[in-house]
Structure 1
Amino acid sequence: MKSVAKFVLAAMAAATLAGCSSIDVKPWDRDLLAKKSMQLDSAPLEAGLDDHIYFSKEASSGGRGFGGGGCGCN
């Protein structure tokens, strides 16, 4: 029974990995992907200001992915 489960798991993993192998960006789509709004950081100046404010309040840097205030009551 375990070998069947391993086979099914391996088949699912192979299908998942092979599903994206034929995707490519067409030359006429590259202009859309190069737009500023498609970048991971579309507003670098605003992100830099947010980092500065966060660093000033928390006395730490990095890790922008979580919430919390600068009051120290967490």
Structure 2
Amino acid sequence: MNPIKKMLILITALSSLLILSGCSSLDIEPWVKPYERQNLADPIMRFGRHPIANMHVAHVLEARESARGAEGTGGGGCGCN
């Protein structure tokens, strides 16, 4: 085997070992603290705040896509429920 190829394999193995060992020693904490979660649960943080408008948009998208169930409801593209 070529000495350059051996050196390349050794460097690759050592660097991958270093990367994997570095990731395992991290102390991962949640980004959102428990006292900050009340701000994220605020109704203003929702994507759609008007339920009737959300239902209408979902209906329009289903009609445009010619398929039912695109929004997580039951049914398939055949039109059966």
TM range (shorter): 0.3 to 0.5
User: What TM-score results when the alignment is normalised by the length of structure 1?
Assistant: 0.46
Normalising by structure 2, report the TM-score. 0.43
- Of structures 1 and 2, the larger Rg is shown by 2
